[in-house]
Amino acid sequence: MKNLVLNIQIACSTPKYLPKKKDIYNWINATIPSLKYKKSITLRVVNKKESSELNFKYRGKKNPTNILSFSFLETNLNHIPLIGDLVICAEILENEAYYQKKKIKEHWAHIIIHGTLHLFGYDHVSNHQKKIMENLEKKIMMSLGYCNPYF
């Protein structure tokens, strides 16, 4: 999709694994609806400290998390060409992949897809919402040739 601008910020020591920009771009494109106008997403890769600080500031949770999503789509700033920001803690992602016995690239794909769905208003607060979101994640992952992330 030519109308997506992907900005990547690395705000931590180099992660053990970092997907190629074209892979991240493809994962996001597989997730989002067709864009009429040029819009951007920023992906920021952070350490546990920054993840914890942001998670506490915006969600009231004291621990780091794998991904945080900050959507700008529901604001009154429609003239600004931003979809939102995704903040990923690479260390958490790596640990999850290891302990859940998942391939690291596939886990990155899943978490980026998950976060991108949040940018577009999907959530998993209720069981009904969770089922809808997880089914979408499975469908997108499998369309990309990856395994069901919720085996």
Q: Which helix (H) or strand (E) holds 97?
A: helix 90-99
Burial of 108 (0-12, 13-18, 19+ CB in 10 A): buried
Distance CA 99, CA 91 (A): 12
Q: Is 110 annotated as a binding residue?
A: no
Determine contact, residues 42/87, Cβ cutoff 8 Å: no
Q: Is 114 annotated as a binding residue?
A: yes
Q: Is 107 annotated as a binding residue?
A: no
* Structure token digits, residue 84: 């939102």
Determine contact, residues 46/91, Cβ cutoff 8 Å: no
Please choose, from the candidates 78, 75, 55, the residue with its C-alpha nearest in 3D space to the C-alpha of residue 66: 55
The binding site for Zn(2+) consists of 114, 118, 124
The binding site consists of 114, 118, 124
